[in-house]
């Protein structure tokens, strides 16, 4: 908890910032700026068990124009401070423009990974119809894996160099990949283009887009990250519906070229808007390589295990719910639409849990949403079969609860470290998590093949993943707050 001296120093800092904001008027007349009141609210005594530990600062500034004696007042935006002394604006035009940029970047990158069910269903029944579900699943397993595994380098490079060049490089790779996929006909074509190039490009955007928000928000980080993450869900609505409408009209190649235009618009805007604020760290072995010594912290280890397990199962419904609908006798049109319906639920699931997590606790909210994923899969997907209404209910509920799997996991990891070390912590965690995203889809495909095309084994696999994730996150929280105080906000 910051001490009195720290609070006083913070008050001076905000006053200085306000002084810079007020400046001089256009006529060049002198303004006497006086700080009338500064309030420093210390964090409550139990702040170490809360999701944030901050000093809220608010200054009311009075200005007097020497020329005409007119007095003006200005209120400085409420800011926050973490336990390490870093201050955060918690809003303002620049901060929300970064959120908008992240939203657009995730629309054009995570929106595509949320569309893998559409791509997998189409190519497995057309270009790659002679390959098994497990073999086709490896393409999208590599795609999901590289999206997170490349954070091993991208996170620390973000800490050292900022987001601009990373987002630009990722945008170029995604656009090139979407242009190239129109010409793919062989298995290795899809592996290189969809699996490798698109996976690396998505990682180059995803990691800095999420991390940049942490430079502007601390107390409201969950809300801001959740808002930005809805971009990925909206992309997961738009892209499947666009492809479903265009496949029968203009074919696969031209449909993907329409996707290129959407990506060009959204990713180009993201390149302009995403930026960092905190001082960069010089590139060195320390901040370019992941630090596996972090795993000595049991809370970090349990958190990483929890993220591994939930993301082991997360992409399975996204990849297979469309083929499940086809297998149960629904039309091809509905099989594409059900993925969009899942992403509709995810829009609210990425924002609302992020909003509530800022005062309920990030880990508490994560535990609740993981439980929701577990129950929706077990209670709705298992008995769905050819019941259209029940499958829609599952898509909406799983989409809602699983939305936090993307938006809250970075916030939970960020809660365990200094902001300037976030890239390295995040990259280290996802070095492990990426192996779950690599193997989840092909394992589910192999289970599907061994069950003779019946989906009960695949659904059981997803259920088991979320059960394990629930245990890991619950244990991480209890190790932090104590086994006799499970109600504590964390």
In tens, the pLDDT along 276-303 reads 776 666 655 565 566 788 888 899 999 9
Q: What is the per-residue pLDDT for 106?
A: 94
Cα distance between residue 247 and residue 253, in whole Å = 9
- pLDDT score at 443: 94
H/E stretch holding 59 reads: strand 56-65
Q: How far is CA 64 from the centre of its chain?
A: 46
Domains and CATH numbers, the chain: 4-81 (no CATH), 89-481 (1.20.1250.20)
Task: Tell me if 302 sits within 8 A of 479, measured CB to CB.
Answer: yes
The DSSP annotation for 151-208 comes to HHHHHHHHHHH-SHHHHHHHHHHHHHHHHHGGG--SHHHHIIIIIIIHHHHHHHHHHH
Q: Quick one: tokens of 367?
A: 């535990």
| Single pTM value for the model | 0.74
Count, in order, helices (H) and strands (E) of the chain: 17, 5
- pLDDT in the model for residue 403: 84
Decide if 143 contacts 192 (C-beta within 8 A).
Answer: no
Cβ within 8 Å of residue 257, ≥6 positions away: 178, 179, 182
Choose among 228, 276, 251: nearest CA to 111.
228
Residues of the chain with pLDDT under 50: 1-77
What's the burial of 308, exposed, middle or buried (CB within 10 Å: 0-12/13-18/19+)?
buried
Spatial contact of 19 and 43, defined as CB atoms under 8 Å apart: no
Distance CA 242, CA 262 (A): 10
Q: Sign (positive/negative) of CA torsion 386, 334, 346, 304? A: positive
Residues 334, 382: Cα–Cα separation, whole Å: 19
């Amino acid at each position: 908890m910051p001490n009195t001296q720290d609070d006083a120093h913070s008050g001076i800092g905000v006053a200085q910032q306000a002084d810079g904001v007020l400046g001089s008027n256009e006529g060049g007349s002198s303004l006497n700026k006086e700080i009338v009141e500064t309030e420093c609210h210390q964090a409550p005594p139990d702040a170490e068990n809360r999701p944030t530990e901050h000093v809220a600062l608010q200054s009311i500034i009075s200005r007097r124009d020497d020329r005409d004696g007119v007095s003006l007042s200005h209120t400085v935006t409420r800011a926050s401070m973490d336990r390490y002394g870093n201050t955060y604006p918690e809003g303002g035009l620049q901060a929300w423009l970064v959120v908008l940029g992240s939203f657009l970047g995730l629309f054009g990158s995570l929106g595509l990974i949320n569309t893998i069910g559409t791509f997998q269903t189409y190519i497995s029944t057309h270009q790659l119809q002679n390959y098994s579900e497990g073999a086709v699943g490896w393409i999208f397993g590599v795609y999901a894996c590289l999206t997170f595994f490349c954070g091993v380098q991208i996170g620390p490079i973000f800490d050292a160099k900022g987001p601009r060049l990373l987002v630009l490089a990722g945008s170029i790779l995604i656009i090139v990949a979407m242009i190239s996929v129109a010409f793919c006909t062989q298995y290795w074509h899809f592996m290189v283009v969809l699996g490798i190039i698109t996976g690396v490009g998505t990682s180059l955007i995803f990691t800095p887009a999420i991390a940049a928000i942490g430079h502007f928000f601390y107390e409201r980080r969950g809300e801001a990250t959740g808002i930005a993450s809805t971009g990925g869900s909206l992309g997961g609505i738009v892209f499947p519906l666009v492809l479903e409408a265009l496949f029968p009209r203009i074919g696969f190649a031209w449909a993907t070229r329409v996707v290129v235009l959407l990506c060009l618009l959204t990713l180009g805007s993201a390149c302009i808007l995403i930026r960092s604020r905190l001082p960069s760290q010089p590139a060195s072995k320390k901040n370019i390589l992941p630090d596996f010594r972090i795993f000595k912290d049991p809370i970090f280890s349990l958190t990483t295990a929890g993220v591994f397990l939930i993301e082991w199962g997360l992409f399975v419904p996204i990849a297979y719910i469309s083929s499940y609908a086809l297998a149960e006798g629904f039309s091809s049109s509905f099989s594409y639409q059900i993925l969009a319906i899942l992403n509709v639920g995810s829009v609210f699931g990425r924002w609302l849990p992020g909003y509530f997590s800022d005062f309920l606790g990030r880990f508490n909210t994560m535990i609740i949403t993981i439980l929701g994923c577990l129950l929706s899969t077990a209670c709705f997907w298992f008995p769905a079969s050819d019941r259209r209404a029940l499958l829609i209910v599952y898509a909406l509920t799983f989409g809602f609860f699983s939305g936090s799997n993307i938006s809250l996991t970075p916030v939970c990891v960020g809660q365990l470290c200094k902001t300037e070390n976030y890239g390295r912590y995040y990259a280290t965690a996802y070095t492990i998590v990426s192996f779950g995203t690599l193997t989840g889809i092909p394992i589910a495909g192999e289970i599907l093949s061994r069950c003779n095309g019946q989906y009960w084994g695949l659904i059981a696999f997803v259920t088991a993943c979320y059960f394990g994730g629930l245990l890991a996150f619950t244990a991480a929280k209890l190790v932090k707050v104590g086994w006799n105080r499970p109600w504590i906000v964390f």
